[in-house]
Structures are given as structure tokens and as C-alpha cells.
Copies of this chain bind each other. A is one copy, B any other.
Amino acid sequence: MFKQVTIIGPGLLGASLVLAIRKKHLAEKIVVWARSDKSAQDALDQLPVDRVEKNPSASVEGSNFVILCTPVETINSILSSIVGELKQGCLVTDVGSVKGRVCGEASDLFKNRNACFIGSHPMAGSEKSGMAHASENLFLNRPCIITPEDEESSEQIKVLKLFWEKLGMQNIIMTPEIHDRQLSEISHLPHLISSTLAHSLSEKTDDARSMCGQGLRDTVRIAGGSPELWTGIIQQNQANVLSSLEKFQTSMEKVRSYISQNNFDGLREFLETGANFQKEINK
């Protein structure tokens, strides 16, 4: 599909992309950019790559497709450093969980350039991070949100869609703004709630360890995600996240008052609404 692909950042997603691209034969050559000596060496030792570079500009030389897989707050500065080095017609995307700021700044940066940026958000993370947990199947049967701005060429959007499809993903197209509003509710809020639950129980670790059932374990699973990465995500989606939290707090206040006022019919209906939602999203 591509002569040469560059993966910027061989973490969980970047390293999994290397494995999946190789498995599906989507590129003749794969170049990886890694920031530290250690991860550069690990990428060389553990991943089926052709070249590892420590300079972002050098890593994109000759590539037709570049995927940024670094934390969201680093994407725009890396884009600035590579935009002048991109090959004619190169397609650039990222895998960040927040799209508004990244796509907005990229749109200015790529104006009148011979390359094109379109944001992606393959929803295929894990609470585990790092190259060691990479899997060629990470993307299988997961949704991928593609967030083009109006100006991007529809040809390049087609290429990007085809790429994610070949990794087994279901594409959804929306604007960066709608993406961030939706993800705030269905991803960033759940992460914060899972973390808040874990935080509120953190003094009970020993009791919880011996007595906890699978329920607690599942409910706090995503709280195990990288605090560093998630701080960046919440920071970039601050306004949406605050309004999602407010909605959650309204529901919380409702259930608390049902319980404290002995309104157990109200509680049952409340739990039913939640149970129906759980069943619907698992249909």
C-alpha cells in the first residue's frame, strides 16, 4: 500500500502499528522515530523495522505515510519540526485521543504545503502502555474515528480510511470538534470516574485486594492507564470534560437523594436506566 511508512513514537500504539503493518504487508519499509536511546535500541531489537532514527526530520525522509503516536501534547511541535521535510504528497496522521487543538494547528501548519494532515483516533488503547504490550491484533474490530477538516483532499481521506480498514477497524468520520465532545463523554469521563473510584478507595488497598470481586476490578481497570498520557488528554479537552463531569454529578446527586430519602422506587428506576444503557452498548 505504501513504499515507506514512518511511525513516530514506538509506544503501545506505535509498536502495535509496526507489527500490524508488517503482518498485513502494507508497507515495503518501516522507519521508526524514538526519542530516547533506550527505546531506539528496543525498537531495533524487538520490532520488525528497517530503520530507527533519533531525529524526527530524518525519520520522515522518503516516506509516503507518517503516523504520529506520541502523547497528544507533543504532536504539534513534532509536526512543526517535520512539515518542511515531508515528501511531495505525503499523508500524515496521528493517533491522539483529542483532536481539536491538534487538527486546528495542523490545518494552519499544512496550508500551502505539498503534504496533507488528517487526524485519526484509533480507539484501541489498553490500560497497559509501552512497546512490551504491543500486539499486531490491537486494532481488530475496533472503531477508528477520522477527523478531516474541510480542506483536505477526499483522495487522501480515502487512503487513510483504507489503511485503518486493512487493520480491521471500523471507520467513523466526524469533525474534530464533535469528536472531542463525544469522546469527552464516552471515554474521558469514564476514565476520570474509574480513577476517582480508585482514588476514593486508595486507603483500603489491603481489604480491597483480599475481598474484591471481578466487579471492582473491571470498574477500575482503566484507572490503571498512564497518568502522564491522561493528564495530557484531559488538559487538551478541558472544557468538554468539565461539562461531562457536571452531567455525571447531576446523576450522582439524583441517586444520592433517592437513597437518603428512602425513595427506593426512584433508585430502582435509576438503576434500570443504567442497566438498559449497559445492555444497549453490548448489543
Contacts and interface: CB of A to CB of B under 8 A. Distances in A.
B196 A274 contact: yes
A251 B203 CA distance: 12
A101 interface: no
A260 to B, nearest CB: 6
B259 A238 contact: yes
A271 B205 contact: no
Number of copies: 2
Interface stretch (A3-11, A59-67, A153-161, A184-192): A184-192
A186 B211 contact: yes
A127 to B, nearest CB: 7
Category for how many chain A residues contact B: 35 or more
Interface in A261-282: 262, 264, 267-282
B215 A277 contact: no
Given A195-B270, A252-B249, A255-B192, A277 B187 contact: no
A278 B127 contact: yes
A218 B190 CA distance: 10
Interface of A: 123-125, 127, 142-143, 145, 172, 182-183, 185-187, 189-202, 204-205, 207-213, 215-228, 230-231, 234-235, 238, 241-242, 244-245, 247-252, 254-256, 259-260, 262, 264, 267-283
7 contacts: A185-B204, A185-B208, A189-B200, A192-B255, A198-B273, A227-B269, A230-B271
